Amino acid sequence: MADRGADPSLRYHNKVVIVTGGTKGIGEAIVRAFVKNGASVVFCSKEETASDLENELSECGPGSALYVSCDVTIEDDIKRLIEVAVKTFGQIDCLVNNAGWHPPEQIIDDTSAQEFQNLLSLNLIGYFLTAKYALPHLRKTQGNIINVSSLVGIIGQKHAIPYVATKGAVTAMTKAMAIDESQYSVRVNSISPGNIWTPLWKELSSHAANPDVMILGGKDAQLLGRMGTAEECAKAVLYLAAEATFCTGIDLLLTGGAELNYGNKNQQKTQNSIYN
């Protein structure tokens, strides 16, 4: 990997980062933050190409971006993603597991085992496998893993049993992995966003009977009276990677205080809220 010269303003200078689900929403913001801070970023999604975003990021610099098409539910795709990163840049310093999906409302009576298994493959097992194949390289650099979880993995969510289960498992897996990898000085942490305004939030709200009411409910769920931004999530991820060198096994809540204080929990009166 070519040395671009020392610059103290670059917080992840000459590091190599892999970001899954990096073409939109929180993932795209994470990719942009790392490139802006001097990293070489390999980012992926299921799309066949993301050349426009790849070229834009590399031209803006000072880091660089390389897109790899990868379906994180396919183990061979994950292996290839890791191989491309190492072959191109020679090392891996950080893995950000972000690829995932929040389905529309799922009632347990109407949700099949296969639907649950499909979501587990994407939201949980994809994280596990990407970490598995990245870890031999992260151990060499004493790097770190950051898993994108969700507040609802802690507090639950109405009509979202499969999704909540996957995110609760991500948070638990993060802590277990932090224990095992500490012997190699590899840190493993997670972030748990609450209501973050993303393309996924916009898509889900569009299916509501009254999207405006649903969005207002999403804003009102926070003590700060607004949803978070993808850029705020990216700043937290960059902090965990670059500065939080004595943090491992933590779950950083990005929630605007949504989990605090008593509130009306009467399901006959409250508007369901979509997290992450």
- The catalytic residues are 163
Cα 58 to Cα 33: distance, rounded to the nearest angstrom? 12
Q: Which residue, among 189, 158, 107, has the nearest Cα to 275 in the 3D structure?
A: 158
Cα 20 to Cα 273: distance, rounded to the nearest angstrom? 25
Contact 58, 34 (CB under 8 A): no
Q: Which residue, among 73, 68, 62, has the nearest Cα to 14 in the 3D structure?
A: 62
Cα 59 to Cα 24: distance, rounded to the nearest angstrom? 18
**Is residue 141 exposed (0-12), middle (13-18) or buried (19+ Cβ within 10 Å)?**
middle
Q: Give every strand in the sheet of 187-193, ordered side by side.
A: 64-69, 40-45, 16-20, 94-97, 144-148, 187-193, 251-254
H-helix or E-strand spanning residue 144? strand 144-148
Phi then psi for residue 126, to 5 deg, are: -60, -40
Strand partners of residue 145: 95, 188
Contact 126, 75 (CB under 8 A): no
Q: Which residue, among 32, 24, 28, has the nearest Cα to 58 in the 3D structure?
A: 32
Phi then psi for residue 212, to 5 deg, are: -65, -40
